[in-house]
Amino acid sequence: MEKSIIIEQEYPYSPEEVWDALTDQDQLNEWLMEGNFQPRVGAEYEFYWVNRAEKDKGKTEGKVLEVLKPKKLSYTWEGGGSSTVVTFFLEPSAEGTKLRLEHTGFVPQKDEFVYNGALYGWKGRLANLPAAIAKRQKAVA
């Protein structure tokens, strides 16, 4: 039986603003990773990261599976020897937008290191998403 990561967050921004942060590479650079993401079904992407403190760098890549603006975004995530799927669900809420991240397809024991890294990584990265949106709003204003 596969393992999954499920994280739910509320953001004080509209679904469209959160959607842009999930799909616009300039904003992805701010909160997730640098790369060449395009929100188009079938588009292939690469994300890169560099951890200068630990002298570590790497990349992940995948293909966009589903784009239902501004409600659902899904893509494969190939990295660390694992092949998984990341899906974001967005819905309006009283506070702005409820985001649900589902990162699925981790194989128990085989993918434990990748699973633990992804769990840690998503929590930290999603915490940075509001700052990326705020920065974008200031640039547009």
pLDDT tens profile 80-108: 889 999 999 999 999 999 999 999 999 98
pLDDT in tens, 19-68: 999 999 999 999 999 999 999 999 999 999 876 666 667 889 999 999 99
What is the rounded distance in angstroms from the CA atom of residue 22 to the CA atom of residue 17?
Answer: 9
Q: Which of 80, 87, 64, 65 is nearest to 115 (CA)?
A: 80
- Tokens describing residue 85: 């799927």
Can you give the residue ranges of every domain in the chain? 3-140
Contact 80, 61 (CB under 8 A): no
- Amino acid 110 reads K
Give the three-state DSSP class for 6.
Answer: strand
Domain 3-140 maps to which CATH number in 1.10.3720.10, 3.40.50.300, 3.30.530.20, 3.30.200.20?
3.30.530.20
The pLDDT value recorded for residue 1 is: 80
Average pLDDT, the chain: 93
The pLDDT value recorded for residue 61 is: 96
Residues facing 101 on adjacent strands? 7, 88
The pLDDT value recorded for residue 123 is: 95
What is the rounded distance in angstroms from the CA atom of residue 75 to the CA atom of residue 47?
Answer: 12
